[in-house]
Amino acid sequence: SLNVGTDRPGAFSPEHVEIACEVADQLAVAIQNARLLEAERRRRAELEALRQASLRLTSSLELHSVLEAILAHTLQLVSADDAHIFLYDGERLTFGAALWAGGFQREPYAEPRPEGLTYTVARSGEPVVVPDVDDHPLFEDWRWGGAIIGLPLRVGDRVVGVMNIAFERPHDFSVDELNILQLLADQAAVAIANARLHERVRSHAEELAAALAQLRELDRLKSEFIQNVSHELRLPLTLIRGYAELLTSGELGELHPQQEGPLGIIARRARMLAELVENMTLILGAEARSMERGPVALDELVHAAVEDFRIAAEQAMLTLRAEIAPDLPPVGGETVYLRRVVDNLLNNAVKFTAAGGMITVRMWQEEDQVVLQVADTGIGIPPDRQERIFERFYQVNGSLRRRYGGVGLGLALVKEVVELLGGKVGVESEVGCGSTFTVTLPICDGQGTDRS
């Protein structure tokens, strides 16, 4: 209201009263505009504070920093005296962070009471507003003369924490304050959920890194063990094979018929064990150093290998034929490794093809690649096993190991050597009809570099 006074009776004429009313109306409009302006200013300040809070909360994924940022912005927005955050796991509240007396605290002002405000908010998922704690049933046993609001921090239907904001004196929470605090609580809940997820992901990543380091160490120890065993086996195997061959050839004396069979088994098994040792040695050697890519006449290697396997094929009553294009260019690689690749492919074909079957070795050039193909009419490989046959120590099933021997290193060596040389290996197979292994290798120029 606008009051105008004078000590002279009858001093105000109708015109004076009209002027006073006009001034009062204008003052009322000015006051209303000032109030609206102040409200707008407060609203802008609150929105800016919320924006800053949102930026701060999303700028860190470290849980303790997030909690402290939430409390700092909360007190700034509502000018409260202290604030707490407790984290909730669905059953129990644990202390998260606290801010009062101008600083962050390492422990809460008071532990949550089992039937108090904080647990009530956590269990119900609803905010609890107490303008005067001395006049509220939740504080019958603790009258401290102030005001408090408890806000659930929710992610979806799940309460992840509770934020309490307290005033030292009774305080009527305005609708604007409640809306702002709820918006901040929603942002805080998401920030806490993200920080927790980050902690779980980081912890899981650390566990995986430790497991990977352990696996690498185990792999190193395994390789070292295999290398040592292979080294120790080479000399005795060479001696066993040498004397077995001398005995079977009759150079050390004529054998009785009953001796020929056991000596043949000894010689055959020693040869198989020597091949296993050679495969292990070559695989470990390929791992330990970079593969050289000098020019290798692969067609000559294949011709020689076919001739070497011809006797074994005839003994197994198999037809072995070669279809090798003339004048093929060299490929990049090392002779010893490429010879083992060819031997392993032919050995597999002979091993898994029944009597009366056929093995065909083909070679040709495709653009800047030389293609080697070994096809057989053997037992074939089930479709779901064709990818795994190139894994170390993998065999299609245990009965094949017992029947045909081997430990599953031959094709692993083929794949690893071929890929180290920049090539590819694949298989096409049908159970009962046979298998076709195809190797492609880059052509090498005269300086030992491939053209791929």
Query: When comparing pLDDT for 376 and 279, which is higher?
Result: 376
Q: Are 66 and 192 in contact (CB under 8 A)?
A: yes
Provide mean pLDDT across the span 175-193.
82
* Among the listed residues 304, 293, 297, the one whose alpha carbon sits nearest the alpha carbon of residue 361: 304
Query: When comparing pLDDT for 437 and 81, which is higher?
Result: 437
Which pairing describes strands 358-366 and 319-324: parallel, antiparallel, or unpaired? parallel
Query: When comparing pLDDT for 117 and 54, which is higher?
Result: 117
Q: Which two tokens stand for residue 21?
A: 């009313």
Tens of pLDDT, residue by residue over 242-267, are: 877 788 777 777 877 777 777 777 77
Let me know if 105 is exposed, middle or buried by CB neighbors in 10 A (0-12, 13-18, 19+).
Answer: middle
* Among the listed residues 84, 75, 171, 78, the one whose alpha carbon sits nearest the alpha carbon of residue 121: 84
Q: Per-residue pLDDT for 152 more than 90?
A: yes
Distance CA(167)–CA(182), nearest Å, equals 17
pLDDT at 402: 45
Let me know if 207 is exposed, middle or buried by CB neighbors in 10 A (0-12, 13-18, 19+).
Answer: exposed
Distance CA(215)–CA(239), nearest Å, equals 36
Tens of pLDDT, residue by residue over 44-84, are: 665 566 556 565 555 556 777 778 877 887 787 778 888 88
Least confident window among 67-71, 161-165, 271-275:
271-275
What are the strands of the beta sheet with 358-366, ordered from one edge?
319-324, 358-366, 369-376, 434-442, 424-430
pLDDT at 97: 86
Dihedral sign of CA atoms 301, 303, 304, 310 in order = positive
Q: Per-residue pLDDT for 450 more than 60?
A: no
Superfamily covering domain 291-442: Histidine kinase-like ATPase, C-terminal domain (3.30.565.10)
Residue type, 185: A
Q: Per-residue pLDDT for 85 more than 80?
A: yes
**DSSP output for 356-425:** T-EEEEEEEEETTEEEEEEEE-SS---GGGTTGGGSTT--S-HHHHHHH---S-HHHHHHHHHHHTT-EE
The 8-class DSSP code of residue 171 comes to -
Provide mean pLDDT across the span 195-210.
85
Residue type, 291: M
Tens of pLDDT, residue by residue over 334-366, are: 888 898 899 989 998 998 999 999 999 999 999
Q: Per-residue pLDDT for 41 more than 70?
A: no
Q: CA distances (Å), 429 to each of 75, 232, 380, in order?
A: 72, 38, 5
pTM for this entry: 0.48
Provide mean pLDDT across the span 267-274.
71
Provide mean pLDDT across the span 16-37.
76
pLDDT at 345: 94
pLDDT at 16: 74
Distance CA(244)–CA(260), nearest Å, equals 10
Distance CA(106)–CA(264), nearest Å, equals 81
Residue type, 108: P
Residue type, 71: L
